[in-house]
């Protein structure tokens, strides 16, 4: 069989099925696969379906579809490699969505940014005001002030898990500093 014809058949077949496949099926992995398996599958599929393999094919439609397939492979990898984004995608997949919506991508990216950098954890303006003060207190080693400002921020965002995590972290740091400064003998040196 002619190499160009074989490529055309492969690309046409995959392109027809592409809308029916979820990200796991595009990468040909089990939904419970860990990140190393996903990465290995992504690299294999990216190599196998790379548009450069189809550069010599005279059919422009085959080249266009090869690019479309490759973008789907990249999108699958970008979504599944990040744990927060993958979790969000898995929830959407349970709801019957094969592709991640733009809104879900924005939410997952915001969650990932908040996990990577706590400055992005606030979701409201008032929460942000107290959260920034708390982070400034933390940076300056004023842990009781940080805890107080996180409490204020939690009044505006009571479900914010990052705030709750940092509140616990701040209270522990405050207790450690207090324990270091504790003088059991209470001697005064004049």
Write a three-state SS string for 139-159: HHCCHHHHHHHHHHHHHHCCC
Computed from CA positions of residues 121, 126, 129, 135, in that sequence, does the dihedral angle turn out positive or negative?
Answer: negative
Q: How far, in Å, are 21, 46, 185 from residue 51 at the CA level?
A: 19, 9, 76
Residues in CB range of 113: below 8 A, 6 or more apart = 120
pLDDT at 163 exceeding the cut of 80: yes
Q: What is the pLDDT of residues 14-66, one digit of tens each?
A: 888 778 888 888 888 888 888 899 899 999 988 888 888 877 777 788 888 88
pLDDT for the residue numbered 20: 82
At residue 158 the predicted structure's pLDDT band, cuts being 50, 70 and 90, is very high
The pLDDT, as a whole number, for residue 148 is: 93
Residue 190: is it exposed, middle or buried by C-beta count within 10 angstroms (0-12/13-18/19+)?
Answer: exposed
User: Which residue matches tokens 């099926």?
Assistant: 25
Task: Compute the distance between CA of residue 72 and CA of residue 66 in angstroms, rounded to an integer.
Answer: 10
Task: For the chain, list the strands marked E by DSSP.
Answer: none
Best CA proximity match to 124, nearest among 149, 158, 175, 167: 158
**Which pTM does this prediction carry?**
0.53
In angstroms, the CA 38 to CA 51 distance is 21
| Local confidence band at 122 (pLDDT 50, 70, 90 cut-offs) | confident
Query: pLDDT tens-digit profile of 71-116?
Result: 888 888 888 888 888 888 888 777 666 666 666 666 666 666 656 6
């Amino acid at each position: 069989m002619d190499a160009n014809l074989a490529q055309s058949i492969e690309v046409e077949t995959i392109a027809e099925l592409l809308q029916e496949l979820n990200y796991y099926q595009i990468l040909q992995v089990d939904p419970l696969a860990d990140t190393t398996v996903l990465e290995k599958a992504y690299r294999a599929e990216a190599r196998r379906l790379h548009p450069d393999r189809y550069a010599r094919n005279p059919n422009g439609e085959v080249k266009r579809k090869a690019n479309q397939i490759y973008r789907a492979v990249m999108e699958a990898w970008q979504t599944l490699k990040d744990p927060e984004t993958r979790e969000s995608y898995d929830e959407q997949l349970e709801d019957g969505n094969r592709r991640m919506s733009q809104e879900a991508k924005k939410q997952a990216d915001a969650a990932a940014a908040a996990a990577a950098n706590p400055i992005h954890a606030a979701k409201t303006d008032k929460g942000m005001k107290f959260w920034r003060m708390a982070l400034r207190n933390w940076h300056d080693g004023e842990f009781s002030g940080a805890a107080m400002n996180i409490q204020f921020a939690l009044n505006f965002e009571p479900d914010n898990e990052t705030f709750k995590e940092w509140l616990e972290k701040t209270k522990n740091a405050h207790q450690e500093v207090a324990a270091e400064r504790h003088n059991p003998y209470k001697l005064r040196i004049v």
